[in-house]
Amino acid sequence: MAKPKSGAKKATPVGKTGAKPAAKKDKSSRLDLIKNASKRVATTTTTKVVKAAGDAPAKSAKSAAKKAAAEAEPKEKVSEKAAEKVSEKASTKKSAAKAAPAAKTATAKAAPAAKAATGAKASSGKGGSKASAVPAAPPVEKPRPRATKLPPPGEPLTKREMEQLLTAGEGRGVMGEGSLKGRLVVLNEMPNLVVVGRDKRELTFLLQGPDQEVLPAYVNHKVSVSGMIRKTTNHGGVVDVRKYSAKKPEAEVVEAPPADTEPRLRYLSPGEVSMVTAAGMGAGIKGFAAVRGNLEMTGEEFVLVVSNGGTRQQVSFLLDGKAAAKGLRKNVGHTLQVMGVVDKTSGWGGRISAENVEPRPSEARAVSRDEMELVHIEGEVPTSVDVKLNHGLTVRLPEQPGHTWAIEPTVAKRVGLREANFEPGPNGGPATREFFFTPRNPGTFEVEFFLAKALAPGLVDRSFKINVTVKP
């Protein structure tokens, strides 16, 4: 007979508890053995059920274990009653046989619970995969940020900066306070002002500020804005609008094409006259004006030199018209005032249709040549000369029709060019030009003379150099 485990009660000696019959003692020990066996079977079945349903939620595992334990308890009672009626020898075998079906039934009932739990888990996994397979909704577009704050007032734009601002291809980086007029359009849901520039090309400026939401209502209106203007590119920029005014677009009136008439000329203002006589400025100006200068000749044409004579920044005009007659030859080398239609075609001159010519007294020479030591150079001779400080140097060069001799303006200032006189040749001979210098600074200087085309000093035919050493 197997020894009972620790959970079974040990048999007590007869002498201590009182004498009992031997049959009753054996019967009670067998009953204890059956109880212990049935309890072990119940615990093993519950542990198996818990392991099988380990992946299921904790609640389903606990409920399955409780059901198995509840079903095992009635089986114990049945086995106890049966064991009392069965004989002593077969009792152990029959109780073990009955305990085994009880364990089978417990595991059979616990298995569906585990399957249900795993099925729930699998269904939840499938549901999650289906949910992930559903395409996400497109993101909602956020409204674009709009500039609502105005910068502090800046410096007003100068006239020169406004010219750069309104010139296509120039002026990037120019900024300041000013005003613009143009046509309002909407580009990329933003208000923009289309401005016609100086050369009839359009410039586009983005309008910012607190009124940015209101301005699109004035599409295709004539709008005038004032505020901080920044030209961020060569063809447009940004305006922080402080004030604006809009005007309804007027209905386009189809005008009859004008008759072929000559455009009316106007009198040039004093400012325009000064631009006409300045080097590199005023190209395209045309109108009535009175201009003063020295009369020269190139070939058979009369030329009026109005500024920077003898340098490569000389501004001169060809004379034509009824007043430009052969009688002007006697005034060559003198100062004249010419009135007529001035047309400046380039920065270095143009043409004057003279209507009236009046001689004017020549300006008194600023430097007298009396009591000066003069060093003279004749013709195109590359050479070196020594000149005393505050004394004179003259260079005489033969002129060619359609060309004129000139030097660089910086060299003229450094060496002290005083005069560049045109002298007609005797008896119709070739004319000459005399350069007169009075050096004011000691040192060695290189003077280069250019034979350039008349009215185009950049086109040089030939040149030569002389070295001038000024000694104190």
pLDDT above 70 for 390? yes
Strands 392-398 and 374-378: parallel
Rounded CA-CA distance 368/374 in Å is: 12
Q: How confident is the model at residue 144 (pLDDT cuts 50, 70, 90)?
A: low
Find which of 126-135, 288-297, 366-375 is predicted with most confidence, using mean pLDDT.
288-297
pLDDT for 119 equals 46
Residues 327, 328, 332, CA angle at the centre, nearest 5°?
140
Q: Which of 258, 229, 261, 263 is nearest to 243 (CA)?
A: 229
Q: What is the pLDDT of residues 253-312, one digit of tens each?
A: 556 655 555 567 889 999 999 999 998 888 999 999 999 999 998 888 899 999 988 899
Q: How confident is the model at residue 395 (pLDDT cuts 50, 70, 90)?
A: very high
Angle between helices 22-52 and 58-85 (to 10 degrees): 160
Q: Who contacts 203 (Cβ-Cβ below 8 Å, separation ≥6)? A: 166, 168, 194, 195, 196, 197, 235, 236, 237
Rg (CA), the chain: 58
* pTM of full prediction above 0.75: no
pLDDT for 25 equals 56
Q: What is the mean pLDDT of residues 135-151?
A: 63
Q: What is the mean pLDDT of residues 232-239?
A: 92
pLDDT for 431 equals 87
Q: What is the pLDDT of residues 415-458, one digit of tens each?
A: 999 989 888 887 777 889 999 999 999 999 999 999 998 888 88
Residue 435 or 29, more confident: 435
Q: Which of 342, 280, 290, 286 is nearest to 317 (CA)?
A: 342
* Strands of the sheet with 443-453, listed across from one edge: 384-388, 456-471, 443-453, 403-407
For the chain, give the mean pLDDT.
Answer: 77
Q: What is the mean pLDDT of residues 24-39?
A: 69
pLDDT above 70 for 80? no
Looking from the CA of 188 toward its CB, the CA atoms found within 13 Å total 7
Identify the weakest region by mean pLDDT among 53-62, 100-109, 212-221, 354-363. Answer: 100-109
